[in-house]
Amino acid sequence: MINYASFQHAATLEPSLLIAGNADMLRGQQHTIAQGQVLPTGALMGQIAASGQCVLSEADALDGSETPFGILAQDVDTTASASSALLFVRGDFRVGAVSFGLGHSPDSVFSQLRNSGIFLI
């Protein structure tokens, strides 16, 4: 029996505003975005250690999400419930298109992101 892949349209993605340059280096992964957030494309995300869910990374968080993990590839509204979304976990991105949580800035996360393969240009 042959199994064929199926595709569905989940969201509209406009990466040209976020991605800076080398698209060959992009790597995306689906992750669960925690309930109670409305986030734009380009939001700098952290991952909560206990649940594995992602939230906007804020420097003073104490749940693991203070460490930037990826950049949101699409607008997400999890007001009603948690939702799956694409995060970029490697690539080159326009710094002006990235949204930073409280306490984070391009300078404060530059080295940490670079070490994980995310470059802000």
5-49 pLDDT tens trace: 455 555 555 556 899 977 788 999 999 999 999 999 999 999 999
- Enclosing domain of residue 36: 25-120
- AA identity, residue 14: E
User: Does some domain include residue 89?
Assistant: yes
Asked if the structure places residue 99 within a domain, the reply is yes
Q: What is the CATH number of the domain that holds 54?
A: 2.40.300.10
The domain total for the chain is 1
- Which tokens sit at 73? 């590839």
pLDDT tens for 50-108 read 999 999 999 999 999 999 999 999 999 999 999 999 999 999 999 999 999 999 999 99
Q: How far apart are CA 103 and CA 95, in angstroms?
A: 16
32 in any annotated domain: yes
Cβ atoms within 10 Å of 96's Cβ, excluding its own: 12
Q: Look at residue 12 and tell me if it is in a domain.
A: no
- Report yes or no on 2 lying in a domain: no
| Residue 37 falls inside a structural domain | yes
- C-alpha to C-alpha distances, 2 to 5, 8, 46, 62, nearest whole angstrom: 10, 20, 39, 48
